[in-house]
Amino acid sequence: METKTYFSERQTQKQKWIWFVVWLIFLMSVFAIIKQVVLKSPIGNNPAPNWALYLITGFSISLVIFLYRNVLLTRITNQGVHYRFIPFHRKERIVSWKQIKKAYVRVYDPLPEYGGWGLRTVDTKGNGIAINMMGKIGLQLELYNGENILIGTQLGEKVKKVIDSLDYNTQII
Over the stretch 4-35, which tens digit does the pLDDT of each residue have? 999 999 998 877 888 899 889 999 999 999 99
How far apart CA 139 and CA 107 sit, in angstroms, is 9
pLDDT in tens, 49-90: 999 999 999 999 988 888 888 899 999 999 999 999 998 889
Mean pLDDT of all residues belonging to the chain: 88
The values of phi and psi at residue 156, to 5°, are -55, -45
Q: Is 167 exposed, middle or buried (0-12, 13-18, 19+ CB in 10 A)?
A: exposed
Q: Is 111 exposed, middle or buried (0-12, 13-18, 19+ CB in 10 A)?
A: exposed
Q: Other CB atoms closer than 10 Å to residue 99's CB: what's the count? A: 17
The pLDDT, as a whole number, for residue 124 is 63
The pLDDT, as a whole number, for residue 113 is 86
In which band, very low, low, confident or very high, does the pLDDT at 125 lie, cut at 50, 70 and 90? low
How far apart CA 18 and CA 40 sit, in angstroms, is 32
Q: Is-contact 129 149, C-beta < 8 A? A: yes
Question: Bridge partners of 8?
Answer: 75
Q: What is the pTM of this model?
A: 0.77
